[in-house]
């Protein structure tokens, strides 16, 4: 059986990728990172989803590094903006080099367990604001990870990097992803705020597919 390591946040994109990997026949080892983000609702969602699929799942504590990463709105240092990702205010949600840090640890885990591939769910919409979600970042990091894991080479895979959020949701609806178990809102309240960048993007993605976000 093919094996893969997946960075699983508990949100729409990584959960869709998890279901795709399972559908493709992979044995998935999922890693979820606690980096002292504003709330832990996504982490709890990731635990629930991993349990439902009976996959190996580890929550990695990176909370000690949060103070090194500035005052991002995702870390509670600034107010969460009410805007679309294309607006300049959305840059307040950037956590510097977040995916690089996570992928480095995922690569180490994969090499230690002799798992040949690591996956993360960067997609086209994110490329506007987040440098470590861009296709050129993925292509630059691939050879670095191969070189760093020479004894048990690991391949970086980002199959959604050229897809929009709406296209990811379209795939997920076909795979019957339980989106009611996922979470995206940056505010982490009882219900989605429907005004932060990720809420707006999520609701638009479902709407484009003629579907309603089950959390709304």
C-alpha angle 76/77/78, rounded to 5°?
95
Q: Are 157 and 28 in contact (CB under 8 A)?
A: no
213 located within any domain? no
73 burial level (CB within 10 Å; 0-12, 13-18, 19+): buried
81 located within any domain? yes
Q: Which domain holds residue 49?
A: 3-208
215 located within any domain? no
129 located within any domain? yes
Locate all alpha helices (DSSP H) within the chain, ordered by sequence. Answer: 12-23, 41-53, 98-112, 135-148, 165-174, 197-208
Instruction: State which residues of the chain have pLDDT below 70.
Output: 73, 77-78, 81
CA-nearest of 17, 15, 2 to 158 is 17
Cα dihedral angle (70, 73, 76, 81), rounded to 10 degrees? 150
Write down the pLDDT at residue 83. Answer: 72
What total number of domains does the chain contain?
1
CATH number for the domain spanning 201: value is 3.40.50.620
Half-sphere exposure of 93 (CA within 13 A, CB side): 23
Write down the pLDDT at residue 189. Answer: 86
Express each pLDDT in 180-212 by its tens digit: 999 999 988 889 999 998 999 999 999 999 999
What is the pTM (predicted TM-score) of this model? 0.95
Write down the pLDDT at residue 188. Answer: 83
203 located within any domain? yes
Write down the pLDDT at residue 93. Answer: 74
Residue 94 parent element (H or E): none
Write down the pLDDT at residue 71. Answer: 78
214 located within any domain? no
d(CA 211, CA 146): 40
Write down the pLDDT at residue 73. Answer: 67
């Amino acid at each position: 059986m093919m094996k893969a390591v997946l960075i699983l946040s508990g949100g729409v994109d990584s959960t869709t990728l998890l279901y795709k990997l399972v559908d493709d026949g992979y044995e998935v080892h999922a890693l979820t990172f606690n980096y002292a983000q504003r709330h832990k609702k996504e982490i709890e969602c990731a635990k629930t989803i991993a349990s439902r699929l009976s996959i190996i799942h580890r929550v990695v504590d990176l909370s000690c590094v949060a103070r090194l990463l500035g005052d991002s709105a995702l870390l509670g240092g600034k107010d969460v903006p009410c805007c679309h990702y294309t607006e300049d205010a959305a840059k307040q949600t950037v956590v510097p080099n977040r995916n690089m840090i996570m992928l480095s640890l995922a690569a180490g885990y994969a090499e230690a367990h002799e798992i040949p591939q690591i996956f993360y769910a960067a997609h086209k919409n994110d490329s506007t604001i987040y440098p470590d979600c861009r296709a050129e970042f993925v292509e630059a990091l691939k050879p670095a990870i191969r070189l760093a894991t020479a004894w048990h080479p690991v391949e970086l895979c980002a199959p959604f990097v050229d897809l929009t959020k709406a296209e990811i949701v379209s795939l997920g609806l076909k795979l019957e992803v339980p989106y009611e178990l996922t979470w995206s809102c940056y505010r982490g309240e009882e219900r989605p705020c429907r005004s932060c960048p990720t809420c707006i993007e999520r609701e638009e993605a479902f709407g484009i597919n003629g579907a309603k976000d089950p959390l709304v």
